Structure 1
Amino acid sequence: MKGVQFDSEILYVQKLYYFLFLATFSTLTSAIALWRFGLNIGFLVLGVGLVISYIAMLRKKNFTPPKKKVTAQRMARAISTDASPLSIARFACQLYYYFHKPTQAISLLEKFLPSQDPLLCMTLGDILLKEGKARRALYVLRDNPYALIDPLLLTTQGHALKQIEKIPEAVRMYERGLHLAKKNGFPHSGAHWFTQKLLTLSYTASIHHTLADCYVILGNLPDAKRHYRAGNRLLFDLSLWRDQSTPISLAKKHTKSR
């Protein structure tokens, strides 16, 4: 099966759960060691176990998705019992990421686009962006009535504007999205409350980092550093930390257009 390339925000949540899984075994092992050998040995085993768990998380770069047959069965059950926008968006994502069928995923989302659901619109815009259709994505996103009040729609518009090299406009979208996310939070994705909390941290960090990239392109290094640091503070995984690294190709093109 062809590998699934998850967004960094999703990958971060997967890595955290992987760490918690390993840390649970470390805790159980330390409890046994504490019972058998005393307090010092117990805490030593716990410390070593947590360090190993953390290093394993840092080194983990991808996760094996379920088999196609299993995914297809889950999709069929879900879509037959629930035709909500959330279910449709998930179905389209599975078509795109697991089955690598962008045309079908886009067609499905466009069919339900008149519902004006922000999640459906954002999912369609995100897939169009990944397919290199930034202008079409921007048109779809801006046509949604929630375009300027939904943090995820604002962020996706920022991605589209950044891709077509309209950096100042992208910055405004990211800044507004970040402000609304901090004020009202992100729309609920249907995930468990703990997963939703992790996703919120991950998406917020991602916006900070992308905003920092834009400021680097614009030559505003103080604001770039501020946003890199703000994003890093939200991430437990050091391998996902970012620092000042200019996207050279975009920077050159933007400089020429001044």
Structure 2
Amino acid sequence: MGQVKYDLQVLYVYKLYYFFSIFIFFILTSLFLCWRFGPLLGVFSFVIGFCTAYLLMMRKQNFPPPDKKSTAQKMAKEITQDSTPLAISRFASQLYFYFSETRQAIALLEKYQNTNDPLLCATLADILLREDRPKHALSTIMKNPTFYSEPLLLIILGNILQHMNKWPDAIKIYEHSLALAQKSGFPHNGTDKFTQFLLTLSYTATIHHSLGDCYVVTRDYTKANKHYILGNIRFFDISLWRKLKSHVTYTA
């Protein structure tokens, strides 16, 4: 299988776990050196390990997809045991990203669209937007009666409006999504609590970055810079940070 182009939110989580997997080895090594040779060598090893793991995380931009055969078997087992909107959404995402089965993924999601589940609806609209069908994606969001109270749906709606160059409308939607997310959070996608926490940080950061992009287009550079900073502080990996282009001048 080829490389999968993950969403920034998912990529960030992968990169963090990659960092942890490397850094934990250096932590154990540092503890051993501290016990065996003294704290100075242990601290030195800890610092070197942190820097090494961080640099490797920054450089890591691609992660191999899971094995096709085992993934297909797992998907088939899960979908026969669980047909909830959450399971359908995950199944469709795997069809689309891992197997490039666009038609099957869209057809499956549309079959269960009347459940009005926010995660399922957001998954469908996101795939449609990726397939350059923004009008269809927009109608998918608008058909959901709860879209204006679901932060994840509003993120996708903001992306659609941004794609359609409706910058002021996108700004309003992104800001409303941020306000809702602070109160109720994002829909749970079946991951553990820590991963969900990381995804929440990543989603929030990308909303701020998207707002920054919108404000750049509308020439409000002060607000653009503010949102880039608010997004950056939520990303531990500085390779994901955003800033105003060097040719853009703004008044603080």
Q: What secondary structure sits across from 1:2 in the alignment?
A: coil
> Aligned equivalents of 1:182 and 1:83: distance in 2?
30
Once residues 46 and 165 of structure 1 are traced to their aligned partners in structure 2, the CA distance between those partners, rounded to angstroms, is 48
Q: Equivalents in 1 of 2:179, 2:122: separation in Å? A: 18
The aligned residue for residue 29 of structure 1 is 29
2:231 aligns with 231
- Which residue is 1:109 aligned to? 109
Cα shift at 1:215: 0.5
Write the distance in 1 (CA, Å) between the matches of 2:189 and 2:96.
18
Distance between the aligned counterparts of 2:224 and 2:218, measured in 1? 9
Q: Which residue of 1 aligns with 2:81?
A: 81
Q: How many residue pairs align between the two structures?
A: 247
Measured after TM superposition, the shift of residue 4 of structure 1 is 0.7
Is the CA contact (8 Å cut-off) linking 2:9 and 2:202 kept in structure 1? yes
Q: How does 1:181-220 map to 2 (within 5 A)?
A: 181-220=181-220
Pair 1:122 & 2:112 matched: no
Structure 2 counterpart of 1:2, which letter? G
Tell me the distance in 1 between the aligned counterparts of 2:187 and 2:75.
23
1:234 counterpart letter in structure 2: R
Pair 1:244 & 2:244 matched: yes
C-alpha deviation, 1:245, in angstroms? 3.5
Q: CA deviation at 1:2?
A: 2.0
2:53 aligned with 1:43 = no
- Give the SS at the match of 1:228: helix
**Which structure 1 segments of 5+ residues have no match?**
249-258
Residue pairs, 1:43-82, within 5 angstroms:
43-82=43-82
**Contact between 2:118 and 2:187, CA under 8 Å: does it hold in 1?**
no
**Which whole-Å CA distance do the structure 2 matches of 1:208 and 1:185 have between them?**
15
Structure 2 residues without counterparts, runs of 5 or longer: none
Taking the TM superposition and a 5 Å limit, the aligned residue runs for 1:90-109 are 90-109=90-109
Secondary structure, counterpart of 2:128 in structure 1: helix
CA distance in 1, matches of 2:245, 2:147: 30
**For the Cα contact (< 8 Å) 1:13–1:195, is it kept in 2?**
yes
Alpha-carbon RMSD across the aligned residues, in angstroms, is 1.2
Contact 1:212 1:224 in 2 (8 A): yes
Q: Return the letter of the residue paired with 2:171.
A: V
Q: Which TM-score applies when normalising by structure 2? A: 0.96
CA distance in 2, matches of 1:89, 1:184: 21
Give the fraction of aligned pairs with identical amino acids, expressed as a percent.
Answer: 49
